[in-house]
Amino acid sequence: MYYAYNYRLKPSDAHREVLDRHRDICRQLYNHALYRFDQIPEDAGTLNQRVRSIRDEIPDLKDWWDDLSDVYSTVLQTAVMRIEQNVKGLSKLKENGYDVGQLKWEPPREFRSFTYSQSGFKLDKKGGQTVMSLSKLADIPIRLHRAIPDVHKSDSSCAAHQKSPISEDDAKLKQVTVKKESTGEWFATFGVEMDREPPEPPENPEKCVGIDVGILKYAHDTDGTAVGSLDLSDERERLEREQRKLSRKQHGSNNYEKQRRRVARCHADLRRKRRDFLHKLSNYYATEYDLVAVEDLNVKGIMESPSNSRNTASAAWRTFLSLLEYKCEREGTHFVAVNPRGTTKECASCGVSTEKPLWVREHSCPACGFEADRDANAAWNILSRGLEDVGVGYSESTPVETALPVDTSVSAKRVVETGSPTLKERTASAVSE
């Protein structure tokens, strides 16, 4: 499996100038390679062969392009090989029905990163702080806020002694990508490849959960936990204020650029808080359960509806499901995405469908008399469909027999602060009993 570890860099003003220069050289080389790529006919070879032929021209380019000698060789090679990745990305979009054109030259603001592949980078301790040494560039301080697997390689060994949850023999540090965000901040993303395969999901899962996502309550599961949605109203108000200020600045001026960065920081705060919440919530479900059943939502279709599209976009359901899926695979947990049609209307006890408008938040079955929260009833239906898709039984009793215990309300703030919405709460209740 392949993992990405992202860390914040702390470059000085001198470091920023060097980083920007390397980034711009890579951008110019990419544009030159794209120009050469457009001149090569498609019948001259496969996509990989055509791009590699351009990459092999780099040594000759150094004879008259002096700036290329100031950049590490693998960085130049990966800049050229981006063309292959981008062409494949466009082809995939075209297969999915999107109207795409051709690759265009990258302007300075759009080309934000460069990559060291296999060699040319290492982590070290210098001056009492951890630095990332980049060949032909600089030693840049880095904030290692979490452990990174140590790797036994002469040019990419980690000298920052930290306890890693992953065995050193299983990890291989493949590359590091240095990127400048629109806010002006620099980050380093380490690509780590694991030799071991993820654990197999259990044949007979014992702890199973169904999750119904929404807007009023972000997640409602079959264990009676209702996780509130993340409140980002203050961040949105700040963003709107800064955007109004930006609209009054003269485009291209220094004041415009300063204000543009403030707007970019507002967007970054929104994005980071939302992803932090989603990461912690998805990690909880992936690690605490043997099987997780969710709805296979068509978020794109929901977004096209005329109402409530802003709240739907802010909920980021597709991001949550994607994070949950790969974390379940990593932890050896069954991840089942079921058909969402009718999960709210059907009774979890008898299966009779009942029409309910959106403002009705309680489920009351006219056939069997089963009553429950609307989202809790949907969660039970999702779990039932998930167990049916996997082909396993469920040892626990039906929702009618358990009478669906009173839901535990958990705020999104608690998820962000503790990383686990119910673990501490359930432990405390068990001790009190």
pLDDT (tens digit, 9 = 90+) per residue, 157-213?
343 333 333 344 567 888 999 999 989 999 999 988 877 777 788 778 888 899 888
114/116 Cα distance (integer angstroms)? 7
- Average pLDDT score over residue span 6-20: 94
Q: pLDDT band for position 125 (50/70/90)?
A: confident
**Is a pLDDT exceeding 50 seen at residue 53?**
yes
**Is a pLDDT exceeding 70 seen at residue 91?**
yes
And the tokens for 116? 């060291």
Hey, which of 107-116, 166-175, 341-350 has the most confident mean pLDDT? Answer: 107-116
Q: Please state the domain extents for the chain.
A: 1-197, 208-432
And the tokens for 191? 């690509």
40/232 Cα distance (integer angstroms)? 50
The alpha carbon dihedral of 164, 169, 171, 174 has a sign of positive
Q: State the amino acid at position 346 in one-letter form.
A: E
* Residue of higher predicted confidence among 155 and 106: 106
Which residues, in sequence order, are bridge partners of residue 410? 227
Q: Are 358 and 367 in contact (CB under 8 A)?
A: no
- Average pLDDT score over residue span 401-423: 66
- Residue 263: CB atoms within 10 A of its CB come to 18
Residues of the chain with pLDDT > 90, as a percent, come to 40
Q: What is the mean pLDDT of the chain?
A: 82
pTM of the model: 0.79
Give the torsion through C-alpha atoms of 328, 4, 192, 195, to 10 deg.
10
pLDDT (tens digit, 9 = 90+) per residue, 286-329?
998 989 998 888 777 666 666 666 766 777 888 888 999 989 98
Which residues, in sequence order, are bridge partners of residue 292? 209, 335
- Residue 221: CB atoms within 10 A of its CB come to 27
**Is a pLDDT exceeding 60 seen at residue 272?**
yes
What letter would DSSP give residue 162?
-
**Is a pLDDT exceeding 80 seen at residue 7?**
yes
Residues of the chain with pLDDT > 70, as a percent, come to 85
Which residues, in sequence order, are bridge partners of residue 220? 212, 226
* Strand 217-221 with 138-143, pairing: unpaired
Identify the weakest region by mean pLDDT among 239-243, 363-367, 402-406.
402-406
Tracing tokens 């996780």 back to the chain, one arrives at 227
Q: Are 117 and 77 in contact (CB under 8 A)?
A: yes
